[in-house]
Structure 1
Amino acid sequence: MEEKTHPSIESEMAVVGDPQSLEKKKAAIRNAGPGKLQVIADFDATLTKYWVNGCPGHTSHGLLQLGNPECEDKMRKLCEFYYPIKQSLTIPFEEKAKHMEEWQENGHALLIEAGLTLEAIKRSVADAKIEFREGVVELLNLLEERGVPVLILSAGLTDVIEEILRQKLPRFPKNVKIVSNQMVFSNDGRLVSFKGKTIHVLNKNEHALDMASSSVHDQFGETKEQSDDNVFIKRRTNALLLGDHIGDLGMSDGLNYEYQITVGFLNDDIEKFLETFQKAFDIVYVNDAPMWGVVELVSQICPSRGH
C-alpha cells in the first residue's frame, strides 16, 4: 500500500544548527530499527498549537472553567506573576525550579478550593480554545503502525489531557502513555487531592523512570514482569524528544539512550529565543509550525518495510 505523502515544511520554519550531527543520528536510529525507538513529548504548545485563531490557545490548566470567579481571578494572578519567571533566561535554575513548583502547587490548591468536578473538566474541554497541530493525528498513527510508543510527559493535568485526546482526536491512541499531575476525585466526582509528587516544567526528568516503568508494554507484547524490571524501556535505547521549552530537554535524563533527536517548537518571541533554541535542539520549528516536519522525520528514521 502506497504511503500518503505530505508537503515538506517550508524551509524558513525549520532551523537545524548542526546538519551533519542530525544526519548521523538519523542514520543510527534508522539502522537500529523502530523496535529501539521511543517518542517522549511535552503536551501543551508542543502537540497542541500555541496560537488558535490569532490568539494564544488554552493549556491543559488554562482551559478549566472553575465556575468560581474568586478562584479564577487568583489563577490569573498566579499566571501573571510566574509566567515571566518561567520565560526568563537569567534567573538561576534552582531559583526558577522553586518558583515553578510553587506555581504548580498553588494552582492545584485553587482547583481543589474551587470544587472542580469531572463533569466540569468534560465541559471545559468541549468549550476550550485548544487544537492539535496539523499532522499530529498522522504522526500518532504512523508511530502506532511502526510499533513506537509515545510517552507524553507534561506539567499539566493527566485527567484533562486524557479528555482532550478523547474529544479532539478521531480515536484514543493505543500507543500513548501520559505521565502528568493526576487528580484524585471523591465518589461524587469532586477533586479532593493529587497523586504523588508535583510535576512542573523543570523537574520532568525526575519522573522519566516512573514513566518508563508503567509504559505501554502490553501494546507491544511485553510481559508484566518485563515491564516491572524496565526491560521494555531499556530495550528502546533511541529517543525522539519533542518540546517547546528548554526545560523539556531534561525529560529523557532518567533514561539511558544511545541516540536522541531533539525537536523544539519555538512559538513566540522568535528573535529573543532562537539562538538559545538552536544551540539546544537538533531541529527548531518556529512560528507555531505544524507537525508535518516531524511526520517526515519519523518516515525517514522508521521507514515502512520494503523501503
Structure 2
Amino acid sequence: MNQAKTMANGSNSYSSNVVIDDPKLLHQKKAAIRLARPSKLQVIADFDNTLTRFWVDGCRGQSSHGLLQQENPEYNAKRDELFNYYHPIEYDPHLPIDEKTKLMEEWWRKVHDLLIEGGLTYDAIRNSVSGALIAFRDGVAELFEFLEERDIPVLIFSAGLADIIEEVLRQKLHRTFKNVKIVSNRMKFDHNGNLVSFKGKLIHSLNKNEHALDMAASLHEQLGEIDDQMIYSTSLRKRTNVLLLGDHMGDLRMSDGLDYETRISVGFLNHNIENSLDIYRKGYDIVYPDDAPMSGVVKLVSELFSPESDENLKT
C-alpha cells in the first residue's frame, strides 16, 4: 500500500508494511526494556480487531460481543435495536464525554439484562463461537507461547464478555495460557448452565481503560482467588515496562492506571488507512496497517529477549 511504506531502517524494520515515526526513540525504548529483563515486562492487549483479524475469509470479522446468538431470536433482534441506537452515540465527536459515558453504561446494562431475560445458556455461547466468523491473527498463539515461557503476563482488556473470549481462545487456539488474564465482563451461570447475573464492575467501551491494575485484581477476587489476586497484583506493580497492543487510538489509554517506566505501543490500523495513518503513527510507536499478522510483534519480543540481539541494542 502507498500509505504503508516503511519509515524505519536497519533492525527497526519488521516488515514491508510497518510504520515507525521515531526509530531512534523506539530503539531507546527497546534497549531500556531489554536491560530490565523479562521480569519487568507485562503485555496489555485489546481483543477485538487487535488479537483477532478485521477481515475473515473476505468478510468483516465478528466481534466477541457481536457473534453471540441467543436461543430466542427475539432477543437477538432487541440487542440489534440497541446497537443501532447507541453505536452512533459512542462515536459522536460532539457529545460531552460525561454524557456519553452515562449512555454507554445504560447501553451495556440493557444488553446484560436482555441476555439474562432471554435465558442465555453457556451452550449458546459455545455454539455461537463455533459458528462465528472470528479468527486470531496469524502469530497470536506463537506470541502467547513465547511470553508464557518467560512468565510475562498478558492482560486482555475488553468491553465485551470474558466467557465468550475464553471460549474463542479454546475453540480457535485449542489451548489456554496460564499467563493470560482477561479483564472483561464476566457472567455467572447456575448449575444448569443458565446465565443468572454478571460479576463485579460493569466494563464498557469508555471505562475499560481506567484503573487497569485494580480491574485485574478484582477479576481474581470475583473468582475467589484471593491469594492469587494479591500475588498477581503485587507482581504487576513490579512490572514497570509495558508492551501495549491496540487497534484504536483510545486503546493507548489502557496503560493509564499503571505507573510504568517504559512503554512500547503497537497499533493495528485495519481500515480507513489513508485518513488515519498520520494520527496512528504519531500516537503509536509502531503501526501495522492493512490487518497485518502478529508476526511483527513476535519478532519484536524475540528481539527484546534473545541473546543475539544484545549487540544490536547497544549501538
Match of residue 163 from structure 1:
167
Pairs within 5 Å for 1:86-235: 86-213=90-217, 224=227, 227-228=230-231, 230-235=233-238
Instruction: After TM superposition, give the deviation of residue 286 of structure 1 in Å.
Output: 1.3
Encode CA deviations 1:50-108: one digit per residue, 9 max, x unaligned: 11111111111111111222211122222223333334555443333333323322221
Distance (whole Å) between structure 1 residues aligned to residue 274 and residue 24 of structure 2:
24
Distance (whole Å) between structure 2 residues aligned to residue 98 and residue 69 of structure 1:
28
Instruction: After TM superposition, give the deviation of residue 231 of structure 1 in Å.
Output: 2.4
Encode CA deviations 1:256-276: one digit per residue, 9 max, x unaligned: 110011111121222232222
Distance (whole Å) between structure 1 residues aligned to residue 232 and residue 48 of structure 2:
30
Pairs within 5 Å for 1:20-59: 20-59=24-63
Instruction: After TM superposition, give the deviation of residue 215 of structure 1 in Å.
Output: 8.4
Does the C-alpha gap of structure 1 residues 108 and 138 become closer, same or farther in structure 2, counting only changes over 3 Å? Answer: same
1:17 counterpart SS class: coil
Where in structure 2 are there 5+ consecutive unaligned residues?
A: 1-12, 221-225, 311-315
Paired-residue identity, %: 58
Match of residue 240 from structure 1:
243
Distance (whole Å) between structure 2 residues aligned to residue 113 and residue 9 of structure 1:
49
What TM-score, normalized to structure 1? 0.87
Match of residue 82 from structure 1:
86
2:109 counterpart SS class: helix
1:242 counterpart SS class: strand
1:205 counterpart SS class: coil
Encode CA deviations 1:133-166: one digit per residue, 9 max, x unaligned: 0010111111112221111111111111111111
- Aligned residue pairs total 293
Does the C-alpha gap of structure 1 residues 94 and 20 become closer, same or farther in structure 2, counting only changes over 3 Å? Answer: farther
Q: Are the counterparts in 1 of residues 211 and 256 from structure 2 also a CA contact under 8 Å?
A: no
2:138 counterpart SS class: coil
**Which of these residues, 266, 289, 306, is aligned with residue 303 of structure 1?**
306
2:209 counterpart SS class: helix
1:230 counterpart SS class: helix
AA matched with 1:83: H
Instruction: After TM superposition, give the deviation of residue 254 of structure 1 in Å.
Output: 1.2
Distance (whole Å) between structure 2 residues aligned to residue 87 and residue 15 of structure 1:
26
**Which of these residues, 246, 250, 254, is aligned with residue 251 of structure 1?**
254
Distance (whole Å) between structure 1 residues aligned to residue 203 and residue 229 of structure 2:
26
Structure 1 segments (4+ residues) deviating >6 Å: none
Does the C-alpha gap of structure 1 residues 275 and 88 become closer, same or farther in structure 2, counting only changes over 3 Å? Answer: farther
Instruction: After TM superposition, give the deviation of residue 47 of structure 1 in Å.
Output: 0.5
Q: Are the counterparts in 1 of residues 48 and 63 from structure 2 also a CA contact under 8 Å?
A: yes
* 1:261 aligns to 2:264 (yes or no): yes
Does the C-alpha gap of structure 1 residues 96 and 286 become closer, same or farther in structure 2, counting only changes over 3 Å? Answer: farther
Distance (whole Å) between structure 1 residues aligned to residue 307 and residue 147 of structure 2:
11
Distance (whole Å) between structure 2 residues aligned to residue 225 and residue 271 of structure 1:
45
Distance (whole Å) between structure 2 residues aligned to residue 157 and residue 226 of structure 1:
20
1:156 counterpart SS class: strand
1:198 counterpart SS class: coil
Distance (whole Å) between structure 1 residues aligned to residue 27 and residue 272 of structure 2:
28
**Which of these residues, 259, 265, 274, is aligned with residue 271 of structure 1?**
274
Distance (whole Å) between structure 1 residues aligned to residue 176 and residue 235 of structure 2:
22
Instruction: After TM superposition, give the deviation of residue 176 of structure 1 in Å.
Output: 0.6
Instruction: After TM superposition, give the deviation of residue 304 of structure 1 in Å.
Output: 5.0
What TM-score, normalized to structure 2? 0.85
Match of residue 7 from structure 2:
none
Q: What is the aligned-residue RMSD (CA, Å)?
A: 2.4
AA matched with 2:27: E
Does the C-alpha gap of structure 1 residues 18 and 90 become closer, same or farther in structure 2, counting only changes over 3 Å? Answer: farther
Distance (whole Å) between structure 1 residues aligned to residue 179 and residue 219 of structure 2:
9
Instruction: After TM superposition, give the deviation of residue 25 of structure 1 in Å.
Output: 0.8
Q: Are the counterparts in 2 of residues 204 and 250 from structure 1 also a CA contact under 8 Å?
A: no
Encode CA deviations 1:25-59: one digit per residue, 9 max, x unaligned: 11100111111000011111110111111111111
Does the C-alpha gap of structure 1 residues 186 and 226 become closer, same or farther in structure 2, counting only changes over 3 Å? Answer: closer
Match of residue 220 from structure 1:
none
Instruction: After TM superposition, give the deviation of residue 9 of structure 1 in Å.
Output: 5.2
